[in-house]
Amino acid sequence: MSRTCPDCQNQYEDEVLHCPEDGLDLATIEPDDELIGRSIGSYRVVKPLGKGGMGAVYMAEHPVIGSKVAIKFLHPQYSTDPKIVDRFLAEARAVNIIGHDNILKILDLNVTEDNRHYFVMEFLYGRALQDIVKPDVPLPLEETGPILLQTCEALQAAHDHKIIHRDLKPDNVYLIVHKGRKNYVKVVDFGIAKVTDNEGQSTGKTQTGMVMGTPAYMSPEQAGGMTSRIDGRSDIYSLGCMMFQMATGKLPFPGSSFGEVLIGHLQLPPPEPRTINPAIPEEYQAIILKCLAKDQEARFQTMRELHDAIGACMDALGITRELPLADAAEIAAGSQGQKTRSSPGKSKPGARAALPKKITAPPRGPVSGHQAQTQMAAAAPRSSLGLIVGISAGALVLVGGVVGFVVWQQGESQKQTERSHAAATRAAEDARKQSEAAASREKEAGDSAPVFLSVVSDPLGAKVDATWKGGEKIGETPLDLEVPKNVKVHFTFARAAYLPYAEDVIADSAQVVKVTLTAEPRMASSGIGRPPRPARAPPGPKPAKIADPTNDSTIPVEF
C-alpha cells in the first residue's frame, strides 16, 4: 500500500504519515491498495491485517462458504530480487517441514499473474501474547506456565528439523481458544528463520556481521552479528527474555537506543528478577537466569530441557499444566465469522412442539384431573349426563393447560438460550471494540512517539551532521539521536584521510544507521596522478636550466 502526497505527488509507504518533502499530514489520506477485493485462488482479499519489512498480511474470505484465511504477500519491489524471494518462500517451507499443532499452518504457496509472491495461512481468532504483557505488571506463573510449555514444545519441534526461529518475542506467540480452553499457543512468523544442516551449519545466505531480529529479545550472538554461532540456544535466550518480562513487567535490558540495548545483551548481566518482583519463586528465577546466560554452554541446551525444568518447577509449586477454560464470550469471539447449520436452541422450521405423554396417576396419593373425571363418571347416575359432560370439559381444560404450560416452558427455555447466545455475542463484540480502541490508542501514541537512531561508522570517530525538518544534531560516531517519527534525516560524514559521505534515512522505526567510509586514494610514488603544486609567487630570478647528463632533457634548478 502507498499514499500519494497531494502537493508534491510523491508516493510513500502507508506507514509514512507526513510527507518528508513538504511536511503535509498524510494520515487522513486513504492509502491506495489494489489488493482489496482481488481474488487470490479461491479467496477474495477483504482487508489488511499488518505490514512488515518484507511483506504485508491480509484477511481473505471464501465467497461461498465464508471461511477465512490470512494471505502474506511479498512487497512488489522485492519480486525481482531472488535472494529476498527465496527468504520469503523459506518461511512457508520451514513451517511445512515442522508440521506442529502449536505452529501456524501454511495452506498454499503461489505467484500471481503480475508476479506477486504469496502464501496462504490459517486465520487465527485470538490475540498476541504481547496483548497481555503490560509494562510494570507481572504475570503469575499460573498464567504463563502453560503458555511457556507449549512454546517450548513448538520450538523443540522446529529445532528437531534444524530450523531456528531467530525472532521469538511476545508478538510472535499467538493465543487462541481451542477445544473450549483458552491460551492455546500458535507460534508465528518464521520469516527470518535459519535452516541448518545436520552439522549445524547454516544453509542460508545470511551475511556474517548482519544483525537480524528484534533488539529487546536478541541473544548475544545475534546482537554481535555472529551468525555462525546462532543455534537453538539463541531461541532459548530469547524465550528467557520473554520469561523475565512476563515475571517482572520489565525487559531485562531496556534502553533508549538500539545500541544501548545491544550492549546490554552483549556485556551486562541481567538483574535478578526477584529484586523487581519478590513474589517470583526462587526456583523459577534460577530457570530464567540460566536462559539468559551470555555463554551458550551455560544455558539450557535444548528446548526440551527448558520445558522439563519449567514443568518440574510448576509441579513442585502445585501449579497445574492444564490450560484454563474459556468463558462464553471468549468462545464466541473465537468462533465469530464461522457459519453453523442451525442456531443452538432453535427448532427446525415447521416442527411442532412435542405433546406430553398421557399422565398416569400412581395408585395412591393425589388424584389427577383425568382420574377424577373417570371416577366421577362411573359413580354418577345416567340422568346426570350434563354434569358429567361439564366435568369432562373441565378436565379437558386442565389437560390443555398442562400442554400449554409445557409448550410455554419450552418456549421460555428457547428464549433463555437465545438471550444467553445474544449476551455472549454482545460480550464478544464489546471485547472486540475495546481491543480495537486500545490498538487505536497505541497506534496513535506510536505515531506521535519519537524514533531513536543509533549512528555508527567504520571506522568510528567520524564527524556526523544530522539534519531534519526542524532539527539538527552534530557529533562523532557512535552517536544516538531522537527525531520525530517518519521525518527524512540527512546525514553527512567526514573523517580525515577518508572520503566524505552523505545519506538520507526515513525515520519510520528505531534503527541503526551504519556507514562504511572509503579511504582517500594514495598517490603513486612515480608522481602520476599527483595534484599540481600550488603556485609560488615570484619575485626572484627565474630558475636556470642545466643539462642532465643522463638524457637530452633539461631540469630546472633554483639558485
Which residue has cell 359432560? 389
Strands 43-51, 39-40: pairing is: antiparallel
Strands 194-195, 163-164: pairing is: antiparallel
Length of the chain equals 559
Fill in the DSSP letter of residue 105. Answer: P
Widest CA span of the chain, in angstroms?
Answer: 171
Fill in the DSSP letter of residue 408. Answer: H
Q: Is the peptide bond before 31 cis (omega within 30 degrees of 0)?
A: no
First to last CA, the chain: 76
| Gap between the Cα atoms of 231 and 214, Å rounded | 16
Question: What's the one-letter identity of residue 285?
Answer: Q
What are phi and psi for residue 557, nearest 5 degrees?
Answer: -135, 130
User: Residues 504, 506, 507, 510: what is their CA dihedral angle, to the nearest 10 degrees?
Assistant: -90
Q: Which of 14, 167, 231, 235 is catalytic?
A: 167
| Gap between the Cα atoms of 194 and 203, Å rounded | 8
| Gap between the Cα atoms of 80 and 228, Å rounded | 28
CA angle 37-42-46, nearest 5°?
Answer: 25
| Residue 108 is among the residues annotated as catalytic for this protein | no
**Cross-strand pairs, 481:** 453
| Gap between the Cα atoms of 355 and 290, Å rounded | 69
CA angle 48-52-58, nearest 5°?
Answer: 20
| Gap between the Cα atoms of 95 and 105, Å rounded | 7
Question: What's the one-letter identity of residue 253?
Answer: F
Q: Is the peptide bond before 459 cis (omega within 30 degrees of 0)?
A: yes
3-state secondary structure of 92: helix
- Distances in Å between the Cα of 102 and the Cα atoms of 236, 254, 526 are 17, 29, 70
Report whether 4 contacts 22 (CB < 8 A).
Answer: no
> What cell numbers appear for 389 in the block?
359432560
Report H helices in 207-295.
220-223, 232-248, 258-267, 273-276, 282-291
How many C-beta neighbours within 10 Å does residue 122 have? 14
Question: What's the one-letter identity of residue 52?
Answer: G
Q: Return the active site residues.
A: 167
